[in-house]
DNA sequence: CTGAAAGCGCTTACAG
DNA sequence: CTGAAAGCGCTTACAG
């Protein structure tokens, strides 16, 4: 049994599709359609189990009520939680989310953007990989609203909502310093990524402000597709040295790194915080039940997701009107647990 | 600057849309279109930066190349990882995924199914909440292919792909028994959910097979929306008793429960596995860095996701032909770590 | 080999 | 108050 369409209802009632459309879209009073006919349309619609074809609506009206979300990896709890917040906010306004995991790969994200454009999404929320500047620039020239999250490109003028990464890393590093740690390391990802760079910059600045020279050997940069062995190598280089060359604390720039690193540290038989203090970005669940619960920099995921959707929906509502680009920087929350000692 | 359409190309070249459509869809040789014209169409398409409107294609052809995914919560790493596998497999065939988190709420899932139907998805992958039997039954009567994952309704004949929950729980419980544990508890979710029921059933059977009477006081059933306090209450009831009434081991039926429970156990100052042995469903990252790395029942997420998509795509490819419903049960992997002692 | 035409299911000026 | 008609951008019989 095929789905009922507008004309099925119209035919049945001997009225025009126009009428049916008006009634079903709540424009009955606007067009002063008689209560009688109005009621009959509704009745038949219910009887036929009518439900509008959004694809047809989309073709006609030009908006599909779906938005495209491109993040690094939906399996990463950080992005999963962010996705959830975005979904929730979107649902409140009847929008659907198509998600795409880019794996921080600009070729993939380019292809995903193209695909989503073909699908006529009404807007994008993107966590752009490195080397995707051109894609974003092209997007900025186009008509489809979008907002960047988690990172952005300082040189591109467009909506974005990020977190004060510099400040967060600075705070975390100072915390470590205040507890007497001096050989503080940082394990991070490709520094071409603005957020990662800011984190490492904040870390370095805190050291300098404490008159400690930055030792580049203590900054380990991992590839995006890092696996346990990459992390293990970094940990070995950091901790497998003589006492006065060894790191006595580590700042992890992502929780994915942190989890792998802690697993590695434990397997080496080292104790946190006694042998090594540890602090990490992202308040992931794993850190709560860790050998030594991890002191973290928590990000306001709810606020990021909600704000991103709000900005997007606002632009979708008012196409053409060039509102000021929204550049939002949110504060993080520093949560002290036991992994830094006391 | 508006997006170029088929007719823009046709107009420019003074040919018909038909022709352009044929060329761009790789049917040039099938319709023996001259190489010359073929080339010119391609050139103009590139020049105009043409890209097909999938929404229009969808309206015309009846398939949108998008599939709807309904799971409990994309922020839950279990579903996040599953979503990732599904996305990956879907992408290989040019399909997009719209995801919806139902929160195990049947009203929400009903609404999401309706929404996705209106969006003309080509198929569904659903992890159905309790009390959604009617929705699934209705779906089964309809034309849109779908496959259930993680749980299913034994009385409804439809595609599903699940894991041998009974066997997994049985194995885990036997493991605990073999290590001398006798007062083994189980913390689970609403047992109306088939997978949860199977887990608890497997647990009970293992006890019976070891001639141990099942003590219903040791089975704690939490609401779906459980929070720390709910888990804390269960833990207190299990461990806050006199020695011979106290549980000496717990099987967690989900990792979400497990993580909360372990956090709670730690905060009580109890040691795993000395004070209490612990084993859990789902090999989540958190368990690897846990106070005492947790022995788990790992699910074959990759295979679940991949198989589900395969079944779905196959049905989409062959509409109408009523293939046999696919009912797949996969094996789990029992991974022994330190949380049960030795 | 190529084109005119219909139609997917809707919305929305326009006309009366 | 109501309807005929156009059109969103495509695909696909059908005809020549």
Break chain A into its structural domains and give their ranges. Answer: 6-51, 64-162+301-329, 165-299+334-340
- In this complex, the nucleotide whose C1' atom is nearest to the CA atom of residue B29 is C1
Cα A137 from Cα A299, distance rounded (Å): 27
**Strand C contact with A7 (CB < 7 A):** yes
**Residue B20 host element (H or E):** helix B17-24
Tell me whether A77 touches chain B (CB under 8 Å): yes
| pLDDT higher than 80, residue A93 | yes
The whole-number Å distance from A140's CA to C5's C1' is 39
Q: CATH top-level class for A64-162+301-329?
A: alpha beta
Cα B156 from Cα A185, distance rounded (Å): 57
Answer whether A161's CB lies under 8 Å from A330's CB: yes
Quick one: pLDDT at residue A324? 86
Cα B54 from Cα B284, distance rounded (Å): 37
Per-residue model confidence as pLDDT tens digits over B134-167: 999 999 999 899 999 999 999 999 999 999 999 9
| Token pair 């990463």: residue | A76
In whole angstroms, how far apart are CA B69 and each of A87, A233, A305, B143? 13, 38, 20, 17
Cα A226 from Cα A254, distance rounded (Å): 12
| Token pair 């052809």: residue | B61
Most B CBs within 10 Å, among A55, A284, A296, to test the B interface: A55
pLDDT class of B60 with cuts at 50, 70, 90: very high
| Token pair 């299913």: residue | B152
Strand B295-298 to B333-335 pairing: antiparallel
Nucleotides of chain D within 7 Å of a protein C-beta?
1-13
CATH of the domain spanning A165-299+334-340, picked from 3.40.50.2300, 3.40.50.300, 3.40.50.150, 3.40.50.10800: 3.40.50.2300
Both tokens assigned to A116: 């989503």
Tell me whether B5 touches chain A (CB under 8 Å): no
Tell me whether B115 touches chain A (CB under 8 Å): yes
Quick one: pLDDT at residue A1? 59
What sign does the dihedral B274-B278-B279-B283 (CA atoms) show?
Answer: negative
Contact state of B120 with A64 under an 8 Å Cβ cutoff: no
Higher pLDDT, B257 or B241: B257
Contact state of B58 with A53 under an 8 Å Cβ cutoff: no
pLDDT class of B108 with cuts at 50, 70, 90: very high
Per-residue model confidence as pLDDT tens digits over A247-265: 999 999 999 999 999 999 9
- Which of B53, B74, B290 is nearest residue A83 as measured by Cβ atoms? B74
Q: Work out the burial of residue A327: count CB atoms within 10 Å of its CB; fewer than 13 is exposed, 13-18 middle, 19 or more buried.
A: middle
- In this complex, the nucleotide whose C1' atom is nearest to the CA atom of residue A120 is D9
State how far residue A165 is from chain B, nearest Cα, in angstroms.
Answer: 23
pLDDT class of B1 with cuts at 50, 70, 90: low
Both tokens assigned to B240: 């806050």
Quick one: pLDDT at residue B204? 98
Q: CATH top-level class for A6-51?
A: mainly alpha
- Which of A52, A77, A290 is nearest residue B289 as measured by Cβ atoms? A290
Neighbours of B142 (CB within 10 A): 11
Domains B64-162+301-329 and B165-299+334-340 share a fold: yes
| Token pair 């956090």: residue | B263
State how far residue A13 is from chain B, nearest Cα, in angstroms.
Answer: 23
Tell me whether B288 touches chain A (CB under 8 Å): yes
């Amino acid at each position: 049994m095929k789905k009922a369409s507008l004309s099925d209802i119209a035919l049945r009632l001997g009225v025009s599709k126009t009428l049916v459309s008006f009634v079903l879209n709540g424009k009955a009073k606007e067009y002063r359609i008689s209560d009688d006919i109005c009621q009959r349309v509704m009745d038949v619609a219910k009887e036929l189990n009518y439900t509008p074809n959004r694809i047809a609506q989309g073709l006609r009206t030009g908006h599909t009520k779906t938005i495209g979300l491109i993040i690094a990896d939906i399996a990463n709890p950080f992005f999963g939680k962010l996705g959830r917040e975005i979904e929730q906010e979107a649902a409140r306004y009847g929008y659907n989310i198509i998600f795409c995991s880019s794996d921080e790969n600009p070729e993939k994200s380019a292809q995903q953007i193209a695909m989503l454009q073909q699908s006529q999404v009404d807007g994008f929320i993107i966590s752009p990989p490195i080397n995707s500047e051109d894609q974003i620039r092209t997007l900025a020239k186009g008509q489809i609203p979008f907002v960047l999250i988690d990172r952005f490109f300082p040189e591109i003028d467009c909506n974005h909502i990020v977190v004060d990464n510099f400040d967060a890393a600075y705070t975390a590093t100072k915390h470590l310093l205040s507890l007497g740690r001096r050989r503080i390391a940082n394990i991070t990802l490709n520094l071409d990524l603005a957020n990662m760079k800011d984190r490492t910059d904040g870390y370095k600045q805190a050291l300098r402000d404490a008159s400690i020279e930055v030792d580049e050997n203590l900054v380990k940069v991992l590839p995006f597709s890092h696996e346990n062995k990459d992390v293990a190598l970094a940990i070995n280089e950091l901790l497998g040295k003589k006492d006065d060359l060894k790191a006595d604390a580590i700042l992890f720039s992502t929780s994915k790194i942190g989890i792998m690193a802690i697993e590695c540290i434990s397997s080496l038989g080292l104790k946190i915080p006694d042998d090594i203090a540890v602090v990490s970005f992202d308040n992931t669940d794993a850190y709560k039940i860790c050998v030594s619960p991890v002191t973290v920099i928590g990000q306001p995921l709810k606020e990021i997701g909600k704000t991103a959707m709000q900005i997007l929906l606002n632009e979708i509502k008012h196409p053409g009107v060039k509102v000021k680009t929204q550049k939002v920087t949110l504060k993080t929350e520093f949560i002290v647990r036991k992994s830094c000692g006391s």
